[in-house]
Amino acid sequence: MTKSSSNTKPISRNKLLGVAGVGWMFDAMDVALLSFVIAALAADWGLNSSQMGWIGSINSIGMAVGALIFGVFADKVGRKTIFIWTLVLFSVASGLSALTTTFAVFLILRFFVGMGLGGELPVASTLVSESVPAKERGRVVVLLESFWAGGWLLGAIIAYFVIPADFWPIEGWRVALILTALPAFYAIFIRLHLPDSPQFTARPEAKKRSVWKNIAGIWEKKYAKATLTLWIVWFVVVFSYYGMFLWLPSVMVGKGFSLISSFGYVVIMTLAQLPGYFTAAWLIEKAGRKFVLVTYLLGTAGSAFVFGNADSIEVLLASGILLSFFNLGAWGALYAYTPEQYPLVIRGTGAGMAAAVGRVGGIFGPLLVGNLLATGSDIGSIFSIFCISIVIGVLAIIFLGKETKQVELD
């Protein structure tokens, strides 16, 4: 059982995982839908590849800002409060984006969606990390991340059945985005049933530290190497993930498959995320964080290279399945690894700033694909760039990272 503040009943580990995980699932549903909405908007609004890339990138700009701001304030006002604020922000903005009729307004709303999403993810993982024993902390955080696969699958299913459907006079993609506003109601349940971090509530003096002192704290000599490692790994992981996954439906259309068929194939690829998470959750407490990150990132790089150069549906589907398996397993390990690098008073700040640096990579990934496609570059060459970036992250983990398996959090 986790401890909580005096006015909140304790909550079991599994219930905490479920409550936080469903919020995580809603976030993934929105991101998954966006990848399909981009392809649909290209057809409805006549967008070029550069404009398509900006939709994904503006989302990442918002995520960078949100991760930075909300991560810092999670160390001031608490993890639970920020978790609720971010969930409401991204839900309302996503629902409103379904009502817009101009590309510019759509981009503005996607920025606010990104802010909520970018702030929620590192704060949720920090909350769970501080609420479970060290011996199972890594596994539980990876299992939290596995809800992402459920959200992606739900988003893909909605996209498959809703976006191509005729809801005249409303386009299918608008109906799909309206559905993403539902998490705002879930935030009410969270406020009533979710306790804050027992470590945070037990240390009220943490709230008295200034924001600037916390930001400077992650670069103190004791934590500087960990911060550098996290910033490198987060950048390359998010750069490659959003560069590849937001373009999956469009890439498959470009390889000659229909939009509806590409939806079906991406659903199959998404199912492969679940065993990726579950195997990573098992290995992370057996072999350690560094082993899982290195192994799964190298698997991601190899799968991405094959996917980008695939010339048949069989190779495309098989490599896409492996890409989902390894990439999302690595994501789970990274979310478990990040909060473990810092003490309580700067944990939210450190995790949030690392995620913010990663989101900068998420800005450039989709833009890179869009601009290179516009200049006539082939998908194989583009995906090779992502492979190289991932290898750089692997080297950072090997030579700069420290192992934190079952280490007690300060």
Q: Per-residue pLDDT tens for 256-284?
A: 666 545 666 767 777 888 899 999 999 99
Is 410 a domain residue? no
Q: What is the predicted pLDDT for the residue at 3?
A: 40
Is 270 a domain residue? yes
Between helix 344-374 and helix 49-77 the angle, nearest 10°, is: 180
Closest C-alpha among 389, 293, 409, 253 to residue 344: 409
Between helix 289-308 and helix 313-337 the angle, nearest 10°, is: 150
Q: What is the predicted pLDDT for the residue at 7?
A: 42
Q: How far apart are CA 100 and CA 172, in angstroms?
A: 14
Q: How far apart are CA 262 and CA 373, in angstroms?
A: 19
Q: What is the predicted pLDDT for the residue at 40?
A: 84
Burial category of 408 from C-beta neighbours within 10 Å (exposed 0-12, middle 13-18, buried 19 and up): exposed
Q: Are 324 and 28 in contact (CB under 8 A)?
A: no
Is 390 a domain residue? yes
Is 24 a domain residue? yes
Closest C-alpha among 373, 325, 338 to residue 141: 338
Q: Are 2 and 10 in contact (CB under 8 A)?
A: yes
Q: Which ranges of 309-343 would DSSP assign to H, the alpha helix?
A: 313-337
Q: Per-residue pLDDT tens for 328-346?
A: 999 999 999 999 999 999 9
Is 406 a domain residue? no
Burial category of 131 from C-beta neighbours within 10 Å (exposed 0-12, middle 13-18, buried 19 and up): buried
- Helix, strand, coil percentages (3-state) for the chain, rounded to 5, are 80, 0, 20
Quick check: helix, strand or coil at residue 109?
helix
Q: Who contacts 307 (Cβ-Cβ below 8 Å, separation ≥6)?
A: 244, 316, 319, 320, 323, 383
Q: How far apart are CA 349 and CA 65, in angstroms?
A: 13
Q: How far apart are CA 230 and CA 382, in angstroms?
A: 24
Q: What is the pLDDT along the chain (410 residues), one digit of tens a residue?
A: 334 333 445 567 788 888 888 878 888 888 778 877 888 888 888 888 778 878 877 888 898 999 999 999 999 988 988 988 998 898 889 889 988 888 999 999 999 999 998 999 899 889 989 988 888 899 999 999 889 888 888 887 888 788 888 777 788 888 888 888 877 777 777 766 778 888 888 887 777 788 899 999 999 999 999 999 999 999 999 999 888 877 776 676 666 666 545 666 767 777 888 899 999 999 999 999 999 999 999 999 999 999 888 877 788 888 888 998 999 999 999 999 999 999 999 999 999 999 999 988 888 887 788 788 888 888 888 889 999 999 999 999 999 999 998 888 77
Is 138 a domain residue? yes
Q: Which tokens is 353 given?
A: 């700033």
Q: How far apart are CA 81 and CA 29, in angstroms?
A: 22
Q: Which ranges of 202-337 would DSSP assign to H, the alpha helix?
A: 211-217, 221-245, 248-254, 259-271, 273-284, 289-308, 313-337
> Which residues, listed in sequence order, are joined to residue 167 by a DSSP beta bridge?
170
Burial category of 239 from C-beta neighbours within 10 Å (exposed 0-12, middle 13-18, buried 19 and up): buried
Q: Which amino acid is at 409?
A: L
Q: What is the dihedral of CA 280, 283, 285, 286, to 10 degrees?
A: 180
Q: What is the predicted pLDDT for the residue at 242?
A: 80
Is 50 a domain residue? yes
Domains in the chain, number: 1
Alpha-carbon separation of residue 150 from 13, 27, 252 (angstroms): 19, 10, 22
Q: How far apart are CA 119 and CA 243, in angstroms?
A: 20
At 33, which CATH number? 1.20.1250.20
Q: What is the dihedral of CA 33, 74, 202, 2, to 10 degrees?
A: 0
Which H or E element spans position 408? none
Is 4 a domain residue? no
List the domain range (segments joined by +) for residue 75. 13-194+210-400
